Amino acid sequence: MGGYAVAALLVTLGLFAGIHVLGRMRVNFSVLTIGALGLGVAVGVVFEGHLDYVEPVGKVYLNLLLAIVAPLIIVSILSSITSLGTTAQLRTIGARSVGWLLALNALAVLLTLGLSLQLGIGKGADLTLGETNTSALENIKKPFTEVFIDFFPTNIVTDIAENNIIPIILFSVLIAVSYSLVADRAPATVAPFKAFIDALREIIYRAVGFVIALTPYAVLSLTAVATARAAGQWSQMVSLLGVLGLAWAACFVHAFLVNGVLLRVFADVDPVRFFRRIAPAQLTAFTTQSSAGTLPVTTRLLRERIGVPSDIAGFTAPLGTTIGMPGCAGVWPVLLAVFGVNALGISWGVQDYLVLVLLGVIVSVGTAGVPGTATITATTVLTAAGLPLELVAITLPVSMVADMARTLDNVTSAAVAATIVARQEGRLDDAVFDGLVVPDDLAGEVTEDPGGALFDPGVPVGACALPAPVSAPVSTPIPQGVNA
């Protein structure tokens, strides 16, 4: 048995070397991940029962994800709120932007919860989690009052060490709002703090990039182990495909149907024309699986084709890569939670699902618009909800495929939020949306295909710089015969 286990490790290391070489040759990240999924299935079938040395690779990856969660949440929240500069902007554009981004995520949470419960996702999966004793999960559930009290921090160092997510978020928001209040009176005093946060954000995002770069290797390991364990348990494989299908359905329904209704009701915008105008951003999001990487496309389309002023587009769209994120922070974590509850036969009541909804909304504050964000948010929600982390590992292979639809939903919702905020501020330029004028800050520019080379796959994940807010543009009429 030991010889087979060593052979499985050697074969896996050889495949890792091949993935590394292909990565150096700039093969698309998604292609590498999907390829690793297929290789993992093969390894799991060939070396069933002999993956003792392969399994730790996936567990190390999950540990790294857990290690990066708290720093990522803290720096994302601080950088998002400090970028506004003053409390006046925080009360107007900032408050409306955050409100709509969170509202869109809340709708995604409720939509997914309703669909998951109605369809009974996970029932009959006969899910096994290795040596995990799922009956112990019943003993760690608390009354809602205790759960609510635990949301508030008592010792932030302990909360960070123990990955108590909600207290970390609330503490970060407290510090960020306090910064804004001081910045109103003495901006020079807190300028070093903002510079430190901006620098820290780049460092943490780069660190996240390093962790996410390990995804193909982790997928191969985790898929091999999951395939070996699922041998003869085809109901589990069918259930995973059901998770994938429901994730795509929920993301597309939210992206187009829910957002379309909100555009018509709150922004008085034709949703069909809106979606046609931002289609290049949706396509870029779908293919790159990076909300941050799609950001240059999104902000330009909001200004050039939708009529959102530059200051709103330059704030709300970037904010949408750290707050809201309905595909990654709403649909996926809730879907995995319900899947786990049903598949493991855990008894949940109304208050448990209410806590899940609250977690889905709160955890969306501080996400990062990079590939793999859904894995981090799912890890966060499942940990806070007291569900086993192995659920993330089991569903990681289909998560890679689901990420295309999730990212499309994220980017679409951020653009919708920016449009609604612009309308409520009385600054949405209908002439630009109708194609009659172009903003002055874009007049005379050579307009390239917004879905083209704006995303450079060679740039490390998370290294995308956020566009600086500028003054609102003045519209310029389009000469006759020029197509907008």
Q: What is the CA radius of gyration of the chain?
A: 23
Residue 408 has pLDDT above 60, yes or no: yes
CA dist list (Å): 6 to 12, 47, 51, 60, 231:
10, 10, 9, 19, 21
Specify whether the CB–CB gap between 364 and 377 falls below 8 A: yes
- CATH code at position 247: 1.10.3860.10
> Does any domain span residue 451?
no
Q: Where are the alpha helices (DSSP H) in 253-389?
A: 259-266, 271-277, 279-288, 291-301, 310-319, 332-344, 350-362, 373-385
Residue 223: which domain range? 1-127+138-439
DSSP lists the bridge partners of residue 365 as 323
| Residues 6 or more apart in contact with residue 480 via CB below 8 angstroms | none
Read off the pLDDT band of 259 (50, 70, 90). Answer: very high
Residue 479 has pLDDT above 60, yes or no: no
> Does any domain span residue 467?
no
User: What's residue 385's pLDDT?
Assistant: 81
pLDDT tens digits along 149-172: 766 888 888 888 776 666 877 788
pLDDT tens digits along 52-95: 888 888 778 777 876 776 787 788 678 767 766 566 666 778 78
> Does any domain span residue 408?
yes
User: What's residue 237's pLDDT?
Assistant: 64
The span from the CA of 297 to the CA of 10, in Å, is 43
Residue 107 has pLDDT above 70, yes or no: yes
Residue 106 has pLDDT above 90, yes or no: yes
Of 76 and 197, the structure prediction assigns the larger pLDDT to 197
User: What's residue 462's pLDDT?
Assistant: 31
The span from the CA of 273 to the CA of 252, in Å, is 17
Stretch 275-296: mean pLDDT: 79
Candidates 42, 49, 38; CA nearest to 11 is: 42
Q: Which helix (H) or strand (E) covers residue 438, if one does?
A: strand 437-439
Mean pLDDT of the chain: 77
Stretch 401-427: mean pLDDT: 91
Report the percent of the chain where pLDDT is more than 70: 75
User: What's residue 313's pLDDT?
Assistant: 81
Residue 468 has pLDDT above 60, yes or no: no
Stretch 304-329: mean pLDDT: 83
Of 430 and 237, the structure prediction assigns the larger pLDDT to 430
> Does any domain span residue 465?
no
Read off the pLDDT band of 281 (50, 70, 90). Answer: confident
> Does any domain span residue 462?
no
pTM of the model: 0.64
> Does any domain span residue 133?
no
User: What's residue 120's pLDDT?
Assistant: 87
Instruction: State the burial class of residue 448 (Cβ atoms within 10 Å of its Cβ: 0-12, 13-18, 19+).
Output: exposed
> Does any domain span residue 455?
no
> Does any domain span residue 445?
no
Report the percent of the chain where pLDDT is more than 90: 21
From 37-41, 65-69, 268-272, 470-474, the region with the lowest mean pLDDT: 470-474
Read off the pLDDT band of 33 (50, 70, 90). Answer: confident
Query: How many structural domains is the chain composed of?
Result: 1
